A and B are shown apart, each in its own frame.
Chain A
Amino acid sequence: MSRLYDFHGGIHPPQHKDAATGSPIQALPLPPLLHIALAQSVGNAARPTVAVGQHVRKGETLAEPDGRLSAAVHAPTSGTITAIGPHPFAHPSGLPVDTLTLQPDGLDEWQPRQPLDWQQADGTALRKHLQAMGVVGLGGAAFPTHLKLAAGQLATLVVNGAECEPFISCDDLLMRERATSIVDGIRIAAHALQAGEVLIGIEDNKPQAIAAMQAACAGTAYRVVSIPTKYPSGGAKQLIRILTGIEVPHGTRATDLGVQCLNVGTLYAIARAVLHGEPLLSRIVTVTGAVTRAANYEVAIGTPLAWLLQQAGISDPGTDVIMGGPMMGITLPDLAAGLPKAGNCLIAKSAALFPPRPAEQACIRCGDCASACPAELQPMDLFWFAKSRQFGKAQERHLFDCIECGACSYVCPSQIPLVDYYRFAKSEIWTAERDKKNATLARQRHEFRQFRIERDKSEKAARIAARAAEQAAKLATQAATPVAASTAAASGMDDAKKAAIAAALARAAAQKEAKPLSEQHTSGLDDAKQAAIQAAMARAAARKAAAEAAKAGDAANPDRAATATPAQTGMDDAKRAAIEAAMARAAARKAAAQSAQADNTAAANPDSAATATTSQTGIDDAKRAAIEAAMARAAARKAAAAEAKKDAAP
């Protein structure tokens, strides 16, 4: 027996595990509806591949992984998809996420299952299979398992059966009852990781699980290690420390040091997926606390939590429910959510089990939190900086090494909810980083746009210069025609070739000239030109307004002005109505803004009027007419306003 190591800090909270460990794993009937969220793991939510109304069989893929950090989602039973859309989710925010709603048909009819010959398959095939089977870490973090198996040539595979948090006993029961399958999973994972040594760490408060795992491991090289009960020994870094003595430093991953850590539940899911071709469709959930039938249930993913608690006999349906353990779990805002793959435990709160936390008092800097911190941080400093929003300093003190285990909050004599402050600080830092990234992207795009505009301008100037040079050259050759033969011979250039080049250049120039203005606009219109167009439009509008004011005394009435325009008769009625409405809105808004501008622009360069008309050829006639009408209306109103002002002035 090799020696065990100890990690810094840790606490010994009351266990409360007995309530749920008295009975074996319970099966449940199918719920009336299943709400399977598309976001079942860290990374992108999966992309649905089914449609509403489609009938699916058990195990059929409902959604495909979107990207590396994503895993597939499957139908936990056969039935019909009744909805795809936002539904409450088991998340502290209570925000709805896209969810597939499946109505079971009660037949529980499997689709054909395809096991994988894992001993022949290479690592890539195995990882692909696991991603397609939707296997994610079942310890609580829901990290896609195929990524954890990507490391190779490891010295040690640590199997996490510690289950250190109070109340939770799903891994305990799984090890007691299905140790053989777990060992099958270990075999597959060890093969994929080419692990030299396999250590199975189980806390010594689970003697039956230890015995079962030892029996299942008999005849193999896998070592079941009983470790002292101390929270949080089930944290990956902590368990690695206990079993191997390796401390994973800041900014390093355990795999860099040749260790990988997998939860027993995940290994069971691997065994089911590889040996039986069964996707991850259900998991063991501890339902405990203020319920009459506290036990571990095997529950289909997506089972509504309220229904599950009802089956377990919740005494007060209005009570708060924690998903996860009492130390790290979250209070669920909405029990209509379906069970996620990460949901290992549901605890119905009661006043006896969870007395209300006394009000927070000032930090007295006693240092108890630092003694309890398993990550060897200084929680009181982190608290201080998080509270005063000095996030940079909190980061310098390794805020992101905090595993949010809650040991510091547990020991705090001032009852400060320390972890809440750390979570707040972490999300503020993430938001700031995201904003920073977006700002950098925006800056790059803006700088590139400016560069592009400059480049277009200089290219245009170069084109004009080239054309001018070419013209000059042509003139020069024409003048020198008498001696052309001799010069051509001297320069070594063939006459025909020269002529061809000149012709090509002329053609290109002609083409460039013929290019419609509107097309040039899309490739970048400089500000001066834009201003000129606007000016021209405003002038045209003003002229028209004057004409119309003379024609119809009541030009200010937009309906009459619009219907009077004959150019619009060719236009489809509905579209015209829509455009007119939009025009009227735009005109009303612009009238105010441009009234000052119009006066100035009236004196603008007359050349630009031509440009304006050309630019408008891009828009078809009917639409142009509509625009003009709107402009005219706006101008008329403006004129009226100006007149009124003039009247009022003297």
Chain B
Amino acid sequence: MTEQATVNPSNPVKKRSQLKAIWFRYRKNKLAMFGLALFLSLVLVAASSGLFLDYDTQVIEQRMRERLQPPSSEHWFGTDQYGRDVFARVVWGTRISLFVGVFTVTIALTVGTLFGALAGYYGGTVDNVLMRIMDIFLAMPGTILAVAIVGALGPGLVNVLLAMAIARIPQFARIVRSAIISIRGQEFIEAAKACGTRDGRIIMRHILPNAIGPIVVQVTLHMATTILGVAGLSFIGLGIEAPTPEWGSMLSEAKEWMRYHPYLMVFPGVAIILSVLSLNLIGDGLRDALDPRMKN
């Protein structure tokens, strides 16, 4: 209980030291640091790809007479069946995948946290109604739900984002709810109530910051599964439409050539693995770093 009290963000001095302590513990985890470095470099690639790549002429323009070339100094990752540079497409795909990951998780996190916080804080009927709705969503496997939503709305970037986000809302709602239930009965909350603090402020200022640990870990892990999920949807033709270079759709296009030009499959495949791996490593590291029992 005292642990939670020390995390109380209303004391800025302690907050900083707490963050420092987390970073200190995180830094000791080599794999987690590797994951972080990997992820940051992916972010860098995504952010800078717009500077050195022109979408219309380098990413989607077809040069049929240069098709299916193996990797060379000119085309580092070779060219695909339409003569497009695979390197440019994989790099641009980083943008798409990270964007999808971040955006989806942001929506899911916001809505999920809202639902979870309301349910957890107020309990009773509100809790019952909200969580039963979440249970309905949870009852369906995330991918199937996403496929159903995309099937109904039609493929396309926005619809895929929505589908993935909706499929992830209940997970966040549950995590946040359980964290809040464990906190809301504690003395400092009662103290805040006694001071006449409004519910919204109690949730935002006193409860959520104390529940941030599991939420952050969930965010990183869900970004990883979202990237995989979108790649999966695109692979089966329900995701982002051609000619946008999404890793999953690149894999799907490369499938036909797998036997004759396997490199077409290797590079987007490796890109997916790296991004998912980096996020998972970060999530693991964060979980350990945030775990109060691991305190040095």
**Pair from one complex:** no
